[in-house]
Chains A and B, each alone.
Chain A
Amino acid sequence: MKAINPMPGGGDSVRAVPAVGVGPKGADDGGADFTPEQLAAQWEEDKPPAAGPLANAASSLVVLGAGIGAVALSLAMGLGTPAAPQPGLWPFLISCVLVALGAFQLVIGRHNRDAEKFTRMSLAPLTGLVTLAAMVALMPLIGFEIPALVLCIIWMRFLGSETWRSTLLVSAIVVAAFYGIFVLALNTSIPHLF
């Protein structure tokens, strides 16, 4: 039996999975026995590849940069005193914490394994993002119907490898349904062509 990713999503604390078991033993994937330890090890193996120290450093640097920027902006707003604070005091406190945490993470978190590597699979979210951005840009101009249809087709056919037949059929139904709900039934002011 092929390994199944346990957590393709989920709300809070999705990363709870590895905490369940302990042993990073080689999981016997024969399908005979699934002790919690083996399952946890198998899930661990099935996770996307972890990113290297460079990615960890980059994310820490972004945090650090944002923190330093916020410190500068808060200083510009003025701090005042605790008894008579200026608008910058509270953001200043938070951004100091942010800078400290970012620096801590830069040093300590270099070898964390909780970041994921960008792989060829990451092109899918990028494509998805482009279609979303295009939809946001085009909606006020030509209404939502055509961009939504194109988005559905791209996501189903190219990102989800559905067949053309089901892609076209479902996309058309989806757009029609959204038109029915948002325009006809709810009478919202969503920009629409028809």
Chain B
Amino acid sequence: MDFLNPVINGFAVVLEPMNLLYCLIGVLIGMLIGVLPGLGPAATIAILLPLTYNVEPVTAIIMLAGIFYGAQYGGTITSVLLRLPGEASSVVTVFDGYQLARQGKAGTALGLAAIGSFTGGTAAIIGLTFLAPVVASFALDFGAPEYTALAMLGILLVATISSGAKAKALIAGAIGLLLATVGRDVFTGENRFTFGSLELADGIDFVPIAMGIFGLGEILYNLEERHRAAKAPSALANVWPSRKDLRQASGSIGRGSVLGFFLGILPGGGATIASMASYAMEKKRAKQPERFGKGAPEGVAGPETANNAAATSSFIPLLTLGIPANATMALMFGALLIQGVTPGPQLVEQEPDLFWGVVNSMYIGNILLLIMSLPLVGIFVKILRVRAAILAPITALITLLGAYTINNSMFDVTLVVVFGVVGYLMKKFGFEAGPLVLAFVLGSLLESSLRRSLLVFGGDPLGFFTRPISATLLIVFVLVALLPGIRIMLSKRKASAAEAASDTKIKETV
């Protein structure tokens, strides 16, 4: 079978010692930061971007991907043991996982989560293997107008599906687009927003923005938190779930795999939404929904499966369309661009080693993670004792020194600090950083496709509606843009009553 040849060659790429090593490093770091509350996968990937400069593209992405899905495994541990989700995508695991732990069944919860994660991840890789080439071949005919519409829709979806204030997320997106215009205009060669600075003439690099806003911003923000020493349980009983538990949870693992896979593909979807949707679905389907929140194994297995499946499948839009589906994928996009690889539909054909190497590395990564989260889970529980106060300066120094090594210039370090302040302030004022970074990476693609399409259409913006795919995408764009407005109008009356109530509540706690 011709189709399978590149897939099998991909395994040869993964099995190169260097790639195996980076895969191990990636999942190990992912697991660690998943366990340690503080930095999320996006921040960690941002901080470690300079590490990827001197390695092969495939090796770099294998490592970064490992961090991402590894964090989904690690986040579970703190949710179950400490009622403290290490990752946003493990929040719902707390509900039943912690209850199971209180009943002395922490091992069961962790074991089910690990097996579910492995199943979900693996199922999603298989789905990715078959779906990605199809999507890519479909997208091969995409021209500038389709890309314009797709990029706009991607940014809008990521901003509106985010859980914070939608207008603020859109503002962040607009600022990201604006930042992308800094530097020389590729069409006319004129400088834009450089204020006479030579360093800005080439535009702002993606890495200092990502390192500052995601990395340093997060570090500064965390300084504000009280450093609570987490008390980790010293011993952990058997983590192998019983047959009965497995049988009980197998349905939710299956459903979680499918649900997570599809939610992960959607722009703006991803691990967090998938885990929440899976929890809601399991609760709705259960014969005794009242068991949920009191230690139902399905409430752990379902969401943990779904978040891993989604983490894996969110690579599909990135690797096949060149459109990142969420903030972490935007970082992968940036990392690939640094390597001189432009993700897009031609990737499967032109860089099969990279594509299949990364995809197949996930099998290995998931096996490594299963080993780490079943027999070796005790080691990671011990890591919980490392205090945030010690980690904070280390991560800050890694960020600063790493930023220097990008171009051996202090200008980049200064930019990182400046964007770190921006990132911190954005967090304080409730602006999400994800849309900004995503819009920034898509900014130049969006502008050049828009301008090229307008050239084709002779300057008539209605030309976008003469092509079926771009027309459909733009109609969806308009619908998504108008939807929250309509919904706000409808719920306005309800909200005003609720707000009065929450006002008094918050005052009490001050």
B168-206 interface bits toward A, Cβ cutoff 8 Å, 1 = contact, 0 = none: 101100110110010001011010110000000000000
Given contacts A16-B276, A116-B428, A136-B417, contact A151 B171 (CB under 8 A): no
Given contacts A4-B228, A139-B410, contact A13 B432 (CB under 8 A): yes
A105 touches B167 (CB 8 A): yes
B328 touches A12 (CB 8 A): yes
Given contacts A9-B43, A24-B501, contact A114 B408 (CB under 8 A): no
B188 — which chain A residues lie within 8 A by C-beta?
A: 86-87
A193 within 8 A of B: no
B223 within 8 A of A: yes
Interchain nearest-CB distance for A76 vs B (Å): 10
Given contacts A151-B393, A151-B396, A160-B387, contact A98 B175 (CB under 8 A): yes
A87 touches B41 (CB 8 A): no
A185 within 8 A of B: no
Interchain nearest-CB distance for B485 vs A (Å): 10
A2 — which chain B residues lie within 8 A by C-beta?
A: 228
B251 — which chain A residues lie within 8 A by C-beta?
A: none
A15 touches B400 (CB 8 A): no
Total interface residues on A, using CB and 8 Å?
A: 97
Given contacts A109-B165, A136-B413, contact A98 B40 (CB under 8 A): no
A77 touches B177 (CB 8 A): no
In the bound assembly, the distance between CA atoms of A91 and B175 in angstroms comes to 10
Interchain nearest-CB distance for B73 vs A (Å): 15
Q: How large is the interface on B (under 10, 10 to 19, 20 to 34, 35 or more residues)?
A: 35 or more
In the bound assembly, the distance between CA atoms of A39 and B205 in angstroms comes to 41
A50 within 8 A of B: yes
B216-254 interface bits toward A, Cβ cutoff 8 Å, 1 = contact, 0 = none: 101111111111100000000000000000000000000
Is chain B's binding surface mostly helix, strand, loop or mixed? helix
B178 touches A155 (CB 8 A): no
Interchain nearest-CB distance for A183 vs B (Å): 10
A129 — which chain B residues lie within 8 A by C-beta?
A: 220, 417, 420-421, 424
Is chain A's binding surface mostly helix, strand, loop or mixed? helix
In the bound assembly, the distance between CA atoms of A3 and B450 in angstroms comes to 50
Q: Which residue, of A85, A94, A116, has the highest number of chain B Cβ atoms within 10 A?
A: A94
CB-contact partner of B428 in A70, A101, A115, A188, under 8 A? A115
In the bound assembly, the distance between CA atoms of A83 and B458 in angstroms comes to 5
Interchain nearest-CB distance for B170 vs A (Å): 5
In the bound assembly, the distance between CA atoms of A39 and B86 in angstroms comes to 16
Interface stretch among B2-10, B94-102, B376-384? Answer: B94-102
Given contacts A7-B85, A9-B222, A114-B168, contact A24 B227 (CB under 8 A): no
A residues 101-156 with Cβ under 8 Å of B? 101-102, 104-105, 108-109, 111-116, 118, 121-122, 124-125, 127-129, 132-133, 135-136, 139-140, 144, 148, 151-152, 155-156
In the bound assembly, the distance between CA atoms of A15 and B163 in angstroms comes to 6
B91 — which chain A residues lie within 8 A by C-beta?
A: 6-7, 16-17, 20
In the bound assembly, the distance between CA atoms of A122 and B228 in angstroms comes to 17
In the bound assembly, the distance between CA atoms of A36 and B91 in angstroms comes to 10
In the bound assembly, the distance between CA atoms of A90 and B404 in angstroms comes to 32
In the bound assembly, the distance between CA atoms of A132 and B417 in angstroms comes to 7
10 residue pairs of the A-B complex, CB under 8 angstroms, read A6-B91, A10-B85, A10-B86, A12-B42, A51-B428, A95-B174, A124-B223, A125-B424, A151-B396, A160-B387
Given contacts A11-B327, A70-B178, A125-B220, 9 further A-B contacts (CB under 8 A): A11-B87, A12-B40, A49-B509, A95-B174, A109-B167, A116-B430, A129-B220, A129-B420, A155-B389
Sorted nearest first, the 4 A-B pairs with minimum C-beta distance are A160-B389, A83-B459, A11-B40, A11-B42
- B residues with a Cβ closer than 8 A to A are 37-44, 82-88, 91-92, 94-95, 98-99, 162-165, 167-168, 170-171, 174-175, 177-178, 181, 185, 187-188, 190, 192-193, 214, 216, 218-228, 270, 272-273, 276, 292-293, 326-328, 387-390, 392-394, 396-397, 400-401, 404-405, 408, 410, 413-414, 417, 420-421, 424, 427-432, 434, 447, 450-451, 454-455, 458-461, 499, 501-502, 505-506, 509-510
